[in-house]
Amino acid sequence: MEEVNEDENLDTPSITALSVDSSEHGSERDNDSALADTSIYTTSTSVRSSVFQFVQENGRTYHAYREGTDVFHPDLQHHLFLLTLNGELYNAPIKDIPGGLHNVLDIATGTGIWAIEFAHQFPSANVIGTDLSPIQPDFAPPNCHFEVDDAEDPWLFPHPFSYIHGRALATCFKSHLPIFHSAFRSLVPGGFFELQDCIVPFRCIDDTLKGTALETWTQLIMEGTKRLGKDWTRVRRYREMMVEAGFVDVVERRYEWPVGTWARGERMKMLGLWYREDLLAGLQGFTVAVLTRALGMSGEEVEVLLVRVREDIRSNKIHVYIPV
């Protein structure tokens, strides 16, 4: 994919290899039927409404899933990353690590699905997944275990790592640079640190975003997260921060996820299908948190906005995507 211009406005057409499939007519159902795969809809329809339990502030749980909770959203996101990387769990040339692959760390592991699959794929490696919440399954490969830990605290692991992995960390930390410094200090010489993340806000290939509820929502989310001290746009500075932390030979690979199935090509349609479902699955949880905490909106005001935002997300008439 071509690199995206990071300084563009929301309503400015972006530099991208994506193009609209002119054979479709803006109908979500028409576009999706071309994929001949409706299983995601029968699954997501029943699961999305219960993926977060009503617990505390505004009836939502934010950083933790309660025991027994459905974890459709993060595991759906895992599948989306697998599609993006053609079935691979990583991009780094880890087979070139001097001395081989031994200790592996997955920070902010979430449900632990990446750590578990990586441990299955590399049974001789010792895989540790850390997270603030102990939501990982009790069953895991013998070479995989999980620890409750905050990556923003000092790292006190008793051994260095061959490979450190992190995914979808944009919303996790108030400051990423200290995390990068900790990772650098915790790697063996020749080890790798790999991050996979989305670069917000959305980009639009034309002017179809202008004046929509999705545009309003995007602007509110960006302002709200800024006020909360969590700048979700800092992903674009990952490379710069890695170099500042001491890493060398930093490689950045860029991908694109359309929102919906409007883009030309079967692969892009499939990525867009899964990303739309991923976005819809997590939309209410983080929107309510950000807009009520940071901007003082009421829960009712947020819900009214979200009705229109969901309509926009489901519509293939708005040609937006997110760089990854």
Give, rounded to a whole angstrom, the gap between the first and last alpha carbons of the chain. Answer: 10
Q: Does residue 298 lie in a domain region?
A: yes
Domain boundaries, position 246: 28-323
154 within domain boundaries: yes
Is 48 among the domain residues? yes
The whole-angstrom separation of Cα 176 and Cα 277 is: 27
Rounded distance, CA 88 to CA 81, Å? 9
Per-residue pLDDT tens for 299-322? 999 999 999 999 999 999 999 999
8 within a domain of the structure (yes/no): no
* Structural domain includes residue 10: no
Which residues face 35 on adjacent strands?
none
Number of domains the chain contains:
1
Determine the Cα–Cα distance for residues 69 and 72; give it in Å rounded to an integer: 9
Q: 321 pairs with which residues across the strands?
A: 203, 258
Summarised one tens digit per residue, pLDDT across range 252-290 is 999 999 999 999 999 999 999 999 999 999 999 989 999
Indicate which CATH number applies to the domain containing 113. 3.40.50.150
Report if residue 311 sits inside a domain.
yes
User: Residue 54: what pLDDT?
Assistant: 27
Query: Residue 129 belongs to what H/E stretch?
Result: strand 126-131
Q: How confident is the model at residue 75 (pLDDT cuts 50, 70, 90)?
A: confident
In a domain, 17, yes or no: no
Whole-angstrom distance, CA of residue 275 vs CA of residue 81:
10
pTM (whole model) above 0.85 = no
- 18 lies in a domain? no
